[in-house]
Amino acid sequence: MTLALPESDLAELTALVRRGGVVVLSGAGISTESGIPDYRGPSGAYSRNHTPMTYQAFTRDQTARRRYWARSFLGWRTISRAAPNDGHRAVARLQRNGLVDSIITQNVDGLHQAGGADDVIELHGSLDRVICLDCGDLSGRLELDDRLRGANPHFGGETDPETVNPDGDVDLAEELLDGFAVVDCVNCGGVLKPDVVFFGENVPKDRVVDCHATVDRAGLLLVLGSSLTVYSGRRFVMQATKARIPVAIVNQGPTRGDECAAVRLDSPLGPTLAALAAATT
């Protein structure tokens, strides 16, 4: 994909990034070119009437929990195979060149790290970890996947990548869920949950504090691929604006932070960020 963007627009963003001290706030839009649909784009999860799992339903309803794990068992295949795209690699390049200090991501796919970035704060956790809600034991998702495969040898098949959601599950008819077996914590027999923040669940307080401190130190808050609809991410734009830290936004489609942006580009993330990284080298 080539970048169809006026040079003057890119030049304005380049000038801000060249000052350094950039803190990136990324959302699902940066991972769409890796084959993971976003929530609010034209082919996103909400366009398919997808309803994300809530913390309350997961913890209180055994049937809802089984539904989530069955769908997540299939969705994990796409998430685990996803590779970083030009956008992720460009952010890592900007970081290596000393222009990006830190990355706050709302994504749970681990693609920033896979693309070479470090100092990544995973605001909503990561799908590659599993936590026991009873004893707090943390384990790897690959280990859980092996156990689920053993308990459900005849369940599922190849998944259409377009049915996978950013939170790692897939759209699946209710009648296909019959017979799926959920496994429990090997340590205590308790309830297992992906180490991610579900809708209706609070981001851990120490993580939020860390993010606020990171934004306080920023010379620029660069928002990538987020509509900023959810307060969890939008609060950092509000914080930067109040502190008179410039905000730049690259996203396809409108965002709830557009009025705060010193620079606003409506363009594909991969080509735009690759061009930005090249222009600042």
pLDDT at residue 46, as a whole number:
45
**In the chain, what are the domains?**
7-279 (3.40.50.1220)
Note whether 239 and 212 are within 8 A (CB): yes
Q: Which two tokens stand for residue 29?
A: 């839009």
pLDDT at residue 45, as a whole number:
45
pLDDT tens, N- to C-terminus, the chain (281 residues):
445 566 678 999 999 999 999 999 999 999 999 999 876 555 444 444 557 899 999 999 999 999 999 999 988 988 899 999 999 999 999 999 999 999 999 999 999 999 999 999 999 999 999 999 999 999 999 999 999 999 999 887 655 556 677 777 787 777 778 789 999 999 999 999 999 999 999 999 999 999 999 999 999 999 999 999 999 999 999 999 999 999 999 999 999 999 999 999 999 999 999 999 999 98
pLDDT at residue 144, as a whole number:
97
Note whether 27 and 233 are within 8 A (CB): yes
Buried-exposed string 85-113: b where 16+ CB fall within 10 A, e elsewhere: bbbbbbbbbbbeeebbbbbbbbbbbbbbb
Report the residue count for the chain. 281
What pTM does this model have?
0.90
pLDDT at residue 175, as a whole number:
76
Cα–Cα nearest to 183, from 193, 170, 198, 169: 193
Residues carrying an active site annotation = 124
pLDDT at residue 179, as a whole number:
82
d(CA 215, CA 263): 18
pLDDT at residue 3, as a whole number:
55
The 8-class DSSP code of residue 202 comes to: P
240, HSE (Cβ side, Cα atoms, 13 Å):
29
- State phi, psi for 140 to the nearest 5 degrees: -85, 150
Amino acid sitting at position 214: T
pLDDT at residue 5, as a whole number:
62
